[in-house]
């Protein structure tokens, strides 16, 4: 970004900053210099300027740069402040400032420390394209239209207002300590305030003329995410109400929006949670119902506290219930000083000293905080703090005052949309005798912060009294906040819980005099399966772990504990390679993402000790060298770029991935699978599934990887649908996806030779049974059987039974038919439909015993010369096995992919 030049026109109305500082010089791009001329109204208003101004202006911004951790992410074009605390790893960018730094910036927050909530990659918008950015207004309007940012600035009156934005997850870390929610751990700094310049949303909607049936306004952004574009909605009556103050903003603190804050255009909705203020605005749709966007339904809701995270997955109608949607903020407050772990000296004669307690508070829906109360005796008595509202200073601006190209006129508005600050001088003598200090705020509707937490599955709107514990140390007081953000350790809540205290007992985990020895029942504790053998206390060294990093006696780490997989090499459903590939590594994320509760319950049998302090974890996912001849690596996640999507049916798509080099091969043995890894857009938890690509043989083109996947969308019996498949389906082209492998216990070597967990076997006949997308591993083996020998008649015979509901569900039909024709009679493909159409001439009905008797027949006489390969839904696998066992086939004949 060019920070050298300024737009004199757009800043000519900016008064000097508050408190005697010189005016800021916001960095504006070159294109504003030559394209923006005449777009803003004149600063001259005929009134004597207030000098110095009576209202605050922002502190100066910092010179930032693209940080090293962002260079290998889709956000490699975004400059950021290194002080921000990352809450969801490196990417996407979800951050808050250190609480003290946020408070110290004052009433207005720079773009550098303003909190950021991104669900995915930040859209790249070049400076030269900003004024040509288009957005549409459609739906239930008489005059649908498409506008550019240039149109918005030229055609509509501009306004500038101070507005506080708050993430609905602010203070969520406290809820996560009580019980893990589905959200990541915000501290108490998910709140920020800025001067926003733009156009009243009601003015734009009025020109579009909503129809009589219109009730809601939906917004869609340009950030392509795993579940579609981010979008949400608000009531139309709110959007049209000037008192509500909703605006289309294109400036923040006098500067054009930065990428993380919505460059070049966003919605800003005062008084409501930040999740309603859609960034990178592309669509405004007027409707008669709330938005059906995935993020509107499955985010920003407070479900009843009785619903657990596990139960919530099966309650689609509950998620859609608008009674649980969050709009207006609730009243909240926090202590900023003393800071966490701050130490206040107690010198001789300290009894006469005082400490100034300081913090912030806010309310929602235009309400004001009317009181802030402090208690040193856990609520028995309260003291009023002094509350200051810097927002009110803007109401003193002269009539017609212009600020950053927008009219600053707040004298008529009764609503309050900003945070306030509070202070209270407390005698050190009182602090030294108190065990804690707590604060609560009340708004002008007499709604006060609750004493206790209301836990909910998403961990939002957390606003109980804010409690700071006071520790007496030698000649000093040390203060302890409830939590620290992200994975930062510290806070009295974690300390009390680790010590076995019950932080939901109504006394913040402290045991009171006369309290029963029987602990008070905690809030629906999560049923966690122990994977540790309590009798094992051995500490494994790094050298010992390295000695067991090969295929013999493989040891691996899960959640800081070491397990010996040797005894399970033969019995592992995924084959011995799955365990061998994990040898010597920390595979916690992969293990927990894939394995069932039953598998976790088996782990104590393999537990041998505690992991060394420094462990080589899962290799970096971007450790891919383009000169490597083979793409897959069994111990390293490697990225490939999603280059195309080819729909092949109403619910199935071929996903095309480009490898690092056009000469690189996939490196997947026939019959084995690869692992694919994505991350949940909200929680950043790993989503890992196994797939068999349809391109992996030596005859396939190098440099590419194609995977045929059925997309499981929400529907009857599907609840929310498939997490992996929906995320993958919504992934934008050009996005990296990570792969690892090979995995699996079966390998077909050719000429009927195969191996299962390393044991050789010769097969003269394959019976291949599949359904839906389960055809992909069957297709890989069939292709090798037909083409792998190079001669006719020497490979095994095959019969493929492919069961589907309707004709449109048959996948790879042409490819299977071509292999059948190419096999010279050795292989036969049979399609059966349970819901055939009138024109269907093939087999009808399910894959049952009658069909197997007609198409497969009895087992061959030679022991081990026949094999049944099955891949499909659980019901298909069970029915196949039951039918063939009744026909004389044996357990050793079956292999389930």
pLDDT in tens, 392-433: 999 999 988 999 999 998 888 899 999 999 999 999 999 999
Hey, is 665 helix, strand or coil? strand
Position 702 scores a pLDDT of: 85
The answer to whether residue 313 scores a pLDDT higher than 80 is no
Position 865 scores a pLDDT of: 82
The answer to whether residue 270 scores a pLDDT higher than 70 is yes
Average pLDDT over residues 190-196: 98
Position 47 scores a pLDDT of: 34
463 vs 629, higher pLDDT: 463
H or E stretch covering 643: strand 638-647
The answer to whether residue 346 scores a pLDDT higher than 70 is yes
Order of strands, edge to edge, in the sheet holding 797-804? 843-844, 827-833, 797-804, 765-771, 866-871, 894-896
Average pLDDT over residues 854-863: 71
Position 883 scores a pLDDT of: 86
The answer to whether residue 20 scores a pLDDT higher than 70 is no
Three-point CA angle 412, 414, 419, nearest 5°: 120
Average pLDDT over residues 525-537: 72
Q: CA-CA distance, 756 to 895, in Å (whole number)?
A: 9
The answer to whether residue 249 scores a pLDDT higher than 60 is yes
Q: CA-CA distance, 106 to 114, in Å (whole number)?
A: 12
Lookup: tokens for 56: 């605050």
Task: Pick the range with the lowest mean pLDDT from 375-389, 490-504, 786-800.
Answer: 786-800
On the question of a cis peptide bond just before residue 479, with omega within 30 degrees of 0, the verdict is no
CB 392 within 8 A of CB 398: no
Average pLDDT over residues 751-777: 88
The active-site residue, picked from 36, 118, 170, 300, is: 300
All domains of the chain, ordered by start, with CATH? 44-324 (3.90.420.10), 332-498 (2.60.40.650), 555-610 (3.10.120.10), 638-743 (2.40.30.10), 750-896 (3.40.50.80)
Confidence band, pLDDT 50/70/90 cuts, at residue 528: low
Position 624 scores a pLDDT of: 41
* Helix ranges, 62-137 (H): 99-104
The answer to whether residue 142 scores a pLDDT higher than 90 is yes
Is 101 noted as a catalytic residue in this protein?
no
- The backbone torsions φ and ψ at residue 33, rounded to the nearest 5 degrees and listed phi first, read -65, -40
Is 50 noted as a catalytic residue in this protein?
no
* Helix ranges, 195-329 (H): 201-208, 236-240, 294-297, 309-312, 316-320
Mean pLDDT of the chain: 85
Average pLDDT over residues 680-688: 70
Position 571 scores a pLDDT of: 64
Is 176 noted as a catalytic residue in this protein?
no
Is 167 within any annotated ligand binding site? yes
Q: CA-CA distance, 25 to 412, in Å (whole number)?
A: 30
CB 186 within 8 A of CB 274: no
Percentage of the chain exceeding pLDDT 90: 50
Task: Pick the range with the lowest mean pLDDT from 18-32, 159-173, 593-607.
Answer: 18-32
Sign of the torsion formed by the C-alpha atoms of 300, 306, 307 and 310: positive
Q: How many residues does the chain have?
A: 897
249 vs 183, higher pLDDT: 249
Average pLDDT over residues 43-65: 70
Confidence band, pLDDT 50/70/90 cuts, at residue 154: very high
Position 237 scores a pLDDT of: 97
Average pLDDT over residues 370-395: 97
Return the DSSP state at 378: T
Position 604 scores a pLDDT of: 87
Three-point CA angle 797, 799, 801, nearest 5°: 165
Average pLDDT over residues 327-337: 98
Confidence band, pLDDT 50/70/90 cuts, at residue 15: very low
The answer to whether residue 617 scores a pLDDT higher than 80 is no
Q: CA-CA distance, 255 to 267, in Å (whole number)?
A: 16
Bridge partner residues of 247 (DSSP): 200, 268
Selection from 66-80, 248-262, 822-836 with the highest mean pLDDT: 248-262
The answer to whether residue 518 scores a pLDDT higher than 50 is no
Bridge partner residues of 562 (DSSP): 557, 609
Confidence band, pLDDT 50/70/90 cuts, at residue 683: low
Task: Pick the range with the lowest mean pLDDT from 137-146, 266-275, 294-303, 567-576.
Answer: 567-576
On the question of a cis peptide bond just before residue 92, with omega within 30 degrees of 0, the verdict is yes
Confidence band, pLDDT 50/70/90 cuts, at residue 8: very low
The active-site residue, picked from 167, 218, 336, 754, is: 167
The answer to whether residue 792 scores a pLDDT higher than 70 is no
């Amino acid at each position: 970004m060019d920070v050298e030049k300024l737009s004199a026109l757009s800043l000519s109305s900016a008064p000097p900053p508050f408190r005697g500082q010189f005016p800021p010089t916001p960095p504006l791009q070159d294109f504003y210099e030559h394209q923006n001329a005449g777009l803003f109204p004149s600063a001259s208003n005929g009134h004597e300027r207030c000098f110095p101004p009576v209202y605050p202006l922002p502190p100066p911004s910092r010179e930032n740069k693209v940080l090293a951790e962002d260079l290998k992410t889709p956000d490699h074009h975004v400059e950021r402040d290194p002080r921000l605390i990352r809450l969801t790893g490196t990417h996407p960018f979800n951050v808050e400032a250190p609480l003290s730094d946020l408070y110290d910036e004052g009433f207005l927050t720079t773009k550098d420390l303003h909190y950021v909530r991104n669900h995915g990659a930040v859209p790249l918008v070049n400076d030269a394209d900003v004024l040509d950015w288009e957005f549409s207004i459609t739906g239930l309007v008489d005059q649908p239209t498409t506008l550019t940012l240039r149109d918005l600035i030229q055609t509509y009156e501009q306004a500038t207002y101070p507005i506080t934005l708050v993430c609905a997850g602010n203070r969520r870390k406290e809820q996560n300590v009580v019980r893990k929610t589905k959200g990541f751990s915000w501290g108490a700094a998910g709140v920020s305030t800025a001067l926003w310049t733009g156009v009243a949303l009601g003015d734009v909607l009025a020109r579009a003329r909503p129809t009589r049936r219109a009730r809601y306004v939906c917004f869609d952004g340009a950030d392509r995410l795993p579940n579609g574009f981010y979008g949400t909605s608000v009531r139309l009556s709110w959007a049209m109400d000037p008192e509500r103050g909703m605006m289309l903003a294109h400036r923040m603190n006098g500067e054009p929006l930065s990428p993380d804050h919505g460059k070049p255009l966003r919605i800003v909705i005062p008084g409501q949670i930040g999740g309603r203020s859609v960034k990178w605005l592309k669509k405004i749709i007027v409707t008669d119902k709330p938005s059906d966007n995935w993020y509107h339904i499955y985010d920003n809701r407070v479900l009843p506290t009785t619903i657990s995270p596990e139960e919530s997955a099966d309650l689609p109608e509950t998620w859609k219930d608008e009674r649980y949607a969050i709009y207006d903020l609730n009243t909240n407050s926090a202590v900023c000083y003393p800071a966490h772990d701050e130490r206040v000296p107690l010198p001789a004669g300290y009894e006469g000293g005082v400490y100034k307690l300081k913090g912030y508070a806010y309310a929602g829906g235009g309400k004001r905080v009317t009181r802030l109360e402090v208690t040193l005796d856990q609520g028995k008595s309260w003291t009023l703090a002094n509350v200051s509202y810097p927002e009110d200073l803007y109401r003193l601006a002269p009539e017609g005052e212009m600020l950053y190209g927008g009219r600053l006129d707040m004298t008529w508005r009764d609503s309050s949309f900003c945070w306030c600050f509070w202070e209270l001088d407390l005698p050190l003598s009182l602090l030294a005798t108190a065990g804690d200090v707590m604060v609560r705020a009340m708004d002008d509707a007499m709604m006060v912060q609750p004493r206790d937490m209301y836990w909910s599955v998403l961990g939002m709107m957390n606003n109980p009294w804010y409690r700071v514990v006071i520790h007496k140390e030698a000649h000093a007081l040390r203060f302890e906040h409830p939590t620290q953000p992200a994975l930062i350790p510290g806070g009295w809540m974690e300390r009390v819980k680790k010590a076995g205290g019950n932080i939901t007992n109504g006394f913040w985990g402290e045991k009171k005099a006369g309290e029963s020895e029987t602990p008070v029942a905690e809030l629906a504790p999560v049923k966690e399966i122990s994977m540790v053998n309590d009798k094992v206390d051995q500490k494994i060294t790094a050298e010992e772990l390295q000695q067991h990093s090969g295929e013999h006696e493989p040891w691996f780490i899960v959640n800081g504990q070491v397990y010996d997989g040797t005894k399970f090499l033969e019995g592992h459903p995924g084959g011995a390679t799955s365990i061998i590939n994990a040898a010597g590594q920390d595979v916690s994320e992969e293990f927990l993402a894939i394995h069932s509760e039953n598998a976790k319950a088996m782990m104590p049998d393999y537990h041998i000790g505690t992991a060394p302090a420094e462990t080589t974890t899962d290799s970096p996912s971007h450790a891919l060298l383009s000169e490597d001849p083979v793409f897959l690596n069994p111990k390293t996640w490697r990225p490939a770029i999603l280059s195309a999507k080819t729909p092949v049916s109403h619910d199935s798509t071929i996903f095309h991935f480009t490898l690092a080099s056009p000469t690189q091969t996939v490196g997947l043995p026939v019959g084995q699978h690869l692992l694919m890894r994505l991350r949940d857009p909200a929680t950043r938890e790993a989503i890992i599934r196994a797939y068999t690509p349809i391109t992996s043989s030596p005859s396939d083109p190098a440099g590419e990887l194609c995977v045929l996947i059925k997309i499981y969308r929400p529907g009857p019996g599907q609840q929310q649908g498939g997490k992996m498949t929906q995320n993958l389906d919504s992934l934008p082209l050009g996005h990296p996806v990570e792969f690892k492998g090979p995995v699996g216990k079966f390998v077909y070597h050719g000429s009927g030779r195969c191996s299962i967990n390393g044991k050789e076997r010769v097969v003269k006949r394959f019976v291949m049974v599949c359904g839906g997308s389960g055809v992909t591993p069957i297709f890989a083996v069939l292709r090798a059987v037909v083409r792998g020998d190079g001669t006719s008649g020497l490979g095994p015979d095959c019969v493929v039974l492919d069961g589907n509901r309707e004709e449109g569900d048959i996948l790879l039909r042409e490819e299977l038919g071509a292999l059948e024709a190419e096999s010279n009679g050795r292989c036969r493909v049979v399609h059966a439909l349970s819901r055939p159409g009138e024109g269907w001439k093939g087999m009808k009905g399910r894959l049952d015993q009658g069909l197997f008797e007609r198409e497969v027949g009895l087992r061959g006489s030679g022991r081990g010369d026949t094999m049944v390969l099955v891949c499909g839904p659980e019901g298909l696998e069970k029915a196949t096995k039951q039918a063939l066992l009744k026909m004389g086939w044996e357990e050793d004949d079956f292999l389930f992919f």
